[in-house]
């Protein structure tokens, strides 16, 4: 059983939309259940406070910081809050990402820059202010949230800025792992597959939801809690010898090929 007793964590995008759990609030709630003090960093105060209410109701400890992960002062404020309110910093989860449509011909320059600011620059900024505090706290664990989309080409709806930013998260993870191992800071990455979260729920039909589920070898739909369990392991000392890794949490989706996905779906629809 992982334990996060005595650890202080920051989770970015820790808010929840009212109809269920995204990865940010699931990780925050699970970390608090395992004994961590959690800084809930989100651009939306109402969403962050919903996660805070859940943690408080369960007897856990958390604090809200409202800010934008692409703004340096807000990231610095989150790191300072961890130290001022909870006495140190051991875990950082870079969870926030946004998505803009289009292949390279269609995407606007403005959308490309925005996606990279929110999805990648944020990881650098949060780490810049968190790592010195982790060193003062004796070491730490940083978890960058990437995506399956960062490791393979998208053949259906192109979101090239998003997928490229998710590939960058993997490279950033390996560089940071190599450069900060000497500081006793581990840096790992989680690459979720197609999970069902409140942010995407209004945008997909039942048919698409079924297709997503059947596309993965395990044939089961993933949830935010599957990602949260992996993050809790990487945050805990149970993973003390793991750094520089990218862990797919995807029901096996990355291990298969798109042609076999189509065949699997056809096979089940014909039954
Ligand atoms: N949902 C999926 O199917 C899926 C699949 C693969 C990877 N992921 C990755 O998982 C992560 C979380 O996705 P999710 O859909 O569970 O979302 P989530 O619910 O965890 O996060 C959304 C939160 O981020 C906050 N936020 C948005 N922009 C912000 C900003 N600039 N600064 C601070 N907070 C901000 C929102 O207010 C919201 O509360 C992302 O990195 C995403 O790329 C998700």
Residues 39-77 as b or e (16 or more Cβ within 10 Å = b): bbbbbeeebbbbbbebbeeeebebbbbbbbbbeeebbbb
* Assigned domain for 144 exists: yes
Query: 160 C-alpha to center of ligand 1: Å?
Result: 17
* Assigned domain for 1 exists: no
Q: What is the pTM of this model?
A: 0.95
Report which ligand 1 atom has the smallest distance to the Cα of 148.
6
Among all residues, which ones are annotated catalytic?
162
Pocket of ligand 1 (CB under 6 A): 12-13, 15, 22-24, 42-44, 47, 68-70, 95-98, 118, 145, 147, 192, 194-195, 197, 199-200, 224
The whole-number pLDDT of residue 20 equals 77
* Rounded-to-integer distance, Cα 261 and Cα 208, Å: 13
Report which ligand 1 atom has the smallest distance to the Cα of 21.
19
Segment 39-75, tens digit of pLDDT: 999 999 999 999 999 999 999 999 999 999 999 999 9
* Rounded-to-integer distance, Cα 158 and Cα 182, Å: 39
Q: How confident is the model at residue 154 (pLDDT cuts 50, 70, 90)?
A: confident
The whole-number pLDDT of residue 270 equals 43
Domains in the chain, number: 1
What residue numbers bound the domain in which 208 lies?
Answer: 8-270
- The CATH number given to whatever domain includes residue 155 is 3.40.50.720
Query: 174 C-alpha to center of ligand 1: Å?
Result: 22
Lowest mean pLDDT among 98-102, 152-156, 239-243: 152-156
Q: What whole-number percentage of the chain has pLDDT above 90?
A: 78
* Rounded-to-integer distance, Cα 79 and Cα 41, Å: 10
* Assigned domain for 115 exists: yes
């Amino acid at each position: 059983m992982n334990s996060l007793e005595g650890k202080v964590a920051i989770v970015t995008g820790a808010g929840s939309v009212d109809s269920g759990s995204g990865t940010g609030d699931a990780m925050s709630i699970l970390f608090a259940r395992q004994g961590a003090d959690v800084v809930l960093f989100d651009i939306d105060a109402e969403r962050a406070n919903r996660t805070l209410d859940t943690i408080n109701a369960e007897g856990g400890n958390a604090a809200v910081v409202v800010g934008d992960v692409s703004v340096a002062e807000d990231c610095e404020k989150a790191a300072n809050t961890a130290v001022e309110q909870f006495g140190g910093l051991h875990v950082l989860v870079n969870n926030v990402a946004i998505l803009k449509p289009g292949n390279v011909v269609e995407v606007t320059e403005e959308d490309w820059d925005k996606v990279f600011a929110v999805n990648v620059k944020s990881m650098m900024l949060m780490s810049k202010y968190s790592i010195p505090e982790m060193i003062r706290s004796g070491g730490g664990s940083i978890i960058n949230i990437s995506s399956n989309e960062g490791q393979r080409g998208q053949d259906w709806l192109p979101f090239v800025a998003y997928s490229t930013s998710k590939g960058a998260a993997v490279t950033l993870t390996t560089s940071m792992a190599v450069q900060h191992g000497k500081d006793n800071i581990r840096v790992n990455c989680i690459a979720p597959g197609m999970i069902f979260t409140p942010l995407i729920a209004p945008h997909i039909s039942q048919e698409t939801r079924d297709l997503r589920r059947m596309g993965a070898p395990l044939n089961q739909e993933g949830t935010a809690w599957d990602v949260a369990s992996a993050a809790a392991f990487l945050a805990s000392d149970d993973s003390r010898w793991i750094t520089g890794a990218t862990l797919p949490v995807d029901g096996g989706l990355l291990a298969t090929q798109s042609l076999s996905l189509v065949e699997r779906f056809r096979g089940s629809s014909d039954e």
